[in-house]
C-alpha cells in the first residue's frame, strides 16, 4: 500500500494539535467557569451550550461543506476559536464564556465532520482503514497529553497559560490546513431531489441508519460512565480519587491507541460487524470497571475498553466512508448531531439516576441499553442478508506496512 499523501498528514497533524488543545480546554474551561461564576448551574449551562452547538452544527455542517470550499472554512473556524480564547483571557465575563462555548462547539464539530468525510478523498482506497486507525491514535494521544498536562499547566501558568496554549493549538491547526489541497472541490451542487431537501434519515441505507443509531446509543451509555467515574473514584479511593480517574482514562487511551495495530494485523475485514462486536465488548468492559476491581484489574479492563473503543470507531468510520462524497458528508454531519445530543442527554439522565441509585446499576443499565441496541442491530442486519455495502477496499491485512 502506498503511504497516505502529504495532505492527509497535514490534516491529521493539525487535528492532533487542536485536539490536544480541546482536551486541555475541557478541564481548564470547566474549572475556570465554576471559579468565575461560582455556580454549578452556570458551569453546566456552558457545557450544555457547547454540546448543543455541536448538535446544531452537525445538522448543517454536511450541507455547508458541500456548498463552500473546505480549506478557507476550516481555517476561518480555527482562527475564530483562537481569537475566542484570547478574548477570554483579556476580557473574561459570563457573556464571553457563553460565546466561547458556541465557537468551540461549532469549530470542533465542523472539523471532525470534514476530516471523517474527507479521508476517502485524501488517501487511496486500500489505505482507508489505516488512515482511520491513525485518526483514532491521534485522538487518543491528544487526550492523554491534554488530560495529563492540564493540571500542570494550570498550576504553573494559571488559566491564562492554558487558554493561550489552546489558542496556539488552533493557530497551528490553521497553519497546517493552509497547505492542504483537497482533491475535489468543496463547492458541489446540492441536490434538489427529495434526498437533498427532506430528512436524510428517510433515504439512508438501513444498514448505515442502524449504525448511526447504535453510535448514538453508545454515546448515551458513555455519558453514564463519564458522569459516574468521579463519584466511583471518590467512593473507592476517598484519599486519592484523582489517581483512580487517571488510571481509568490513561489505560483507556493506551488501549485506544493500540486498536490501529490490532486491526491492521489481526482483523481480516473491517465492516459493520466489526463495529457492532467491538461496541458490545466496550460496553461490557466499562461495566466491569465499576464492579470494585483491584487496581491492576481495573487497568486491564479499561485497557480492553480502549481497544474495543478504537476498533469500534475504525469500523464505524470505514463503513460510513464507502458512500459518495455528497452523501457521506451529510451522514457524518448527522452522526455528529446524534452523538452530541445522545451524550448530552446521557449526562442529564445519568446525573438524575445517580442521585437515587448506586453507581453500578446506573452504568450497567445505560450500557445494557447499548448492548441491547447492538444485538438488535446485528439481528436485523443478518435478516437483511441481501444488503451489502461495497467496501471499496482491500482487507485490513493489506494495510500493513
Q: What is the rounded average pLDDT for all residues in the chain?
A: 81
Could you read off the pLDDT of 236-289 as tens digits, one per residue? 888 777 677 778 888 888 888 888 777 666 666 667 888 899 999 999 999 999
What CA–CA distance (Å, rounded) separates 316 from 159? 36
Per-residue pLDDT band at 46 (split at 50, 70, 90) = confident
Q: What is the mean pLDDT of residues 22-44?
A: 79
pTM score:
0.77
What CA–CA distance (Å, rounded) separates 361 from 329? 38
pLDDT of residue 61: 79
pLDDT over 50 (residue 73):
yes
Could you read off the pLDDT of 338-366 as tens digits, one per residue? 888 888 888 888 888 888 889 999 999 99
Q: For the ranges 8-17, 38-47, 223-232, 312-321, which has the lowest average pLDDT?
A: 38-47
Residue 150 near residue 162 (C-beta atoms within 8 A):
yes
Could you read off the pLDDT of 1-27 as tens digits, one per residue? 445 578 888 888 999 999 999 888 887
Radius of gyration of the chain (CA): 20
pLDDT of residue 400: 33
Could you read off the pLDDT of 185-232 as tens digits, one per residue? 444 444 444 444 346 666 677 888 889 999 999 999 998 888 888 888
pLDDT of residue 191: 46
Residue 201 near residue 331 (C-beta atoms within 8 A):
no
pLDDT over 70 (residue 69):
yes
Nearest CA-CA partner of 350 in 367, 372, 375: 367
Residue 65 near residue 117 (C-beta atoms within 8 A):
yes
Could you read off the pLDDT of 84-140 as tens digits, one per residue? 999 999 998 888 999 999 999 888 888 888 888 888 888 887 777 788 888 888 888
Amino acid at each position: 500500500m502506498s503511504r497516505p499523501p502529504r495532505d492527509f498528514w497535514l490534516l491529521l497533524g493539525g487535528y492532533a494539535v487542536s485536539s490536544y488543545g480541546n482536551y486541555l480546554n475541557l478541564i481548564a474551561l470547566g474549572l475556570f467557569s465554576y471559579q468565575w461564576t461560582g455556580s454549578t448551574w452556570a458551569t453546566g449551562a456552558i457545557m450544555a451550550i457547547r454540546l448543543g452547538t455541536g448538535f446544531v452544527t452537525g445538522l448543517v455542517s454536511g450541507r455547508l461543506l458541500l456548498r463552500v470550499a473546505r480549506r478557507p472554512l476550516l481555517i476561518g473556524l480555527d482562527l475564530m476559536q483562537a481569537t475566542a480564547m484570547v478574548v477570554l483571557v483579556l476580557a473574561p465575563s459570563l457573556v464571553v464564556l457563553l460565546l466561547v462555548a458556541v465557537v468551540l462547539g461549532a469549530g470542533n464539530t465542523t472539523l471532525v465532520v470534514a476530516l471523517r468525510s474527507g479521508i476517502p478523498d485524501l488517501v487511496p482506497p486500500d489505505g482507508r482503514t489505516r488512515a482511520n486507525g491513525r485518526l483514532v491514535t491521534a485522538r487518543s494521544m491528544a487526550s492523554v497529553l491534554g488530560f495529563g498536562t492540564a493540571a500542570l499547566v494550570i498550576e504553573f501558568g494559571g488559566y491564562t497559560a492554558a487558554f493561550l496554549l489552546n489558542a496556539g493549538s488552533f493557530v497551528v491547526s490553521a497553519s497546517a490546513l493552509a497547505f492542504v489541497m483537497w482533491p475535489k472541490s468543496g463547492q458541489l451542487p446540492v441536490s434538489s431531489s427529495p434526498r437533498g431537501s427532506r430528512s436524510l434519515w428517510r433515504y439512508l441505507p438501513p444498514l448505515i441508519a442502524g449504525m448511526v443509531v447504535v453510535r448514538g446509543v453508545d454515546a448515551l451509555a458513555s455519558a453514564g460512565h463519564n458522569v459516574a467515574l468521579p463519584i466511583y473514584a471518590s467512593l473507592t479511593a476517598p484519599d486519592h480519587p484523582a489517581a483512580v480517574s487517571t488510571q481509568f482514562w490513561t489505560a483507556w487511551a493506551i488501549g485506544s491507541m493500540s486498536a490501529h495495530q490490532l486491526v491492521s494485523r489481526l482483523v481480516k475485514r473491517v465492516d459493520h460487524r466489526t463495529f457492532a462486536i467491538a461496541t458490545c465488548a466496550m460496553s461490557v468492559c466499562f461495566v466491569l470497571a465499576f464492579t470494585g476491581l483491584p487496581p491492576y484489574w481495573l487497568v486491564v479492563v479499561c485497557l480492553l475498553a480502549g481497544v474495543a473503543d478504537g476498533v469500534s470507531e475504525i469500523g464505524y468510520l470505514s463503513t460510513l466512508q464507502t458512500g459518495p462524497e455528497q452523501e457521506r458528508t451529510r451522514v457524518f454531519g448527522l452522526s455528529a448531531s446524534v452523538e452530541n445530543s445522545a451524550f448530552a442527554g446521557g449526562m442529564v439522565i445519568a446525573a438524575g439516576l445517580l442521585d437515587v441509585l448506586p453507581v453500578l446499576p446506573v452504568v450497567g443499565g445505560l450500557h445494557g441499553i447499548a448492548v441491547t441496541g447492538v444485538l438488535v442491530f446485528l439481528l436485523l442486519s443478518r435478516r437483511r442478508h441481501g444488503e451489502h455495502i461495497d467496501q471499496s477496499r482491500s482487507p485490513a491485512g493489506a494495510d500493513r506496512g
